[in-house]
Amino acid sequence: MIDYLGNAYPVLAKKLRKTPFAALPTPVSHHEIETPAGKNSISIKHDDQTNAVYGGNKIRKLEYIFQRAVERGAKRVATFGAVGSNHALATAIFAKKLALGCTCFLAHQKRTPNIQKTLEMHLQLGTEIVRYGGSTDRVALFRRYLQNRQTWVIPLGGTCWLGTVGFVNAGLELAAQIAAGEIETPNRIYMANGTMGSVAGLALGLALANLPTEIHAVRVADSRFVKPDVLVKLMRKTAVLLNRLDASFPAELADRSRIVWRDEFYAGGYAAFDDATVGAVNLAREQLDLTLETTYTGKALAALLHDLDDRKLTGSSLFWNTFNSRALPDTAAEHRDLGSLPQEFRRYFE
């Protein structure tokens, strides 16, 4: 479990530790795929394999966030997400490993195939599930569930400067794999862009490694929240705070980032999808032996496939798979106890 950022900046490593949840480096693989434009070569970065129990991109963020929570004496963590949120479930799983309580404030979303299993896992883990959003009185809610409970609050998607550091480390990890000859330097990386922390950190990490690669950030959430200027602010804040911890870290690193903002694969809404999304998920299953979903990773791969078919790509392309590939355990319906699930979430089992 290599700490690429810590090895490059020893002073920083002493001041900014992490809880080692992730098995790093995650592997890269190379594939020939058949599209209407013919045969094409792509590479995949398998962040679906960050952990043997539950993978995905959130694990890199949570390593740093949980470490800080424990250092500050937290007894419980709380976070936010939609009802099928991978981030919320990852938070609950790793909170359990550290014997921390976990509260998840969850909002409704479009039905997707994973929601039942996600909620079942929360019930097994003993997650405190709270309905969030709509006309909910947020101040009253936070007073009830956060006040006087020694709770460390984790933002939506784990996106904060501390979580972003996890993907600064990922950028250096990819650079090390390039240097070792495991993969050639990609011209483009395609990544789902939800709460922006993964894209922000990876862009900083690639800039730190002096790689010329563009990140094509494929927006998958509402443009009211996912904005280029907010992404830039997050990158700048992360670089400045890392510079304060270690003066040798470049504070102006964000100015060297290479990000291409992609809006055209949003498919009309969060958790909504279109033919391009479904086609990408199907191609991944049939030609790559890869399980994707239609909310995040299907849209990112759809952007890559579109550019291949449109013959806009030169050089090599890498798809960064941020979706967990570890199977959630089956829970027999007859043993399911929905008693601790808020009434309004029981609709997902009907």
Q: What pTM does this model have?
A: 0.95
Q: Which of 297, 219, 214 is nearest to 262 (CA)?
A: 219
Quick check: 100 pLDDT over 80?
Answer: yes
**pLDDT of residue 27 exceeding 50:** yes
Enclosing H/E stretch for 77: strand 76-82
Look at residue 224 and give its three-state secondary structure.
coil
pLDDT at 314 over 50: yes
pLDDT in tens, 258-294: 999 999 999 999 999 999 999 999 999 999 999 999 9
Classify 60 as helix, strand or coil. Answer: helix
Q: Contact, 26 vs 1, CB < 8 A? A: no
Q: Which of 158-167, 183-192, 341-350 has the lowest mean pLDDT?
A: 341-350
Q: Is the dihedral of CA 306, 310, 311, 313 positive or negative?
A: negative
Residue 330: band (very low, low, confident or very high) from pLDDT cuts 50, 70, 90 = low
- Mean pLDDT of all residues in the chain? 94
Q: Can you tell me the mean pLDDT for 86-90?
A: 96
Q: Which residues of 201-232 are buried (b: 16+ CB within 10 A; e: fewer)?
A: bbbbbbbbbebebbbbbbbbbeeeebeeeebb
Ordered domains of the chain (ranges, CATH):
4-57+159-321 (3.40.50.1100), 64-158 (3.40.50.1100)
State the pLDDT at residue 169: 98
Q: What pLDDT score does 334 carry?
A: 47
Residue 34 confidence class, pLDDT cut points 50, 70, 90: very high
- Sheet containing strand 151-153, strands side by side: 128-131, 101-107, 76-82, 151-153
Mean pLDDT of 313-336: 80
Local confidence band at 114 (pLDDT 50, 70, 90 cut-offs): confident
User: What does the DSSP 8-state code read for residue 132?
Assistant: -
Q: How does pLDDT run across 130-150, given as a tens digit for each residue?
A: 999 888 899 999 999 999 999
Torsion-angle region of 318 (φ positive above 0: left; ψ -120 to 50: alpha; else: beta): beta
Is residue 18's pLDDT more than 90? yes
Give mean pLDDT, residues 165-191: 98
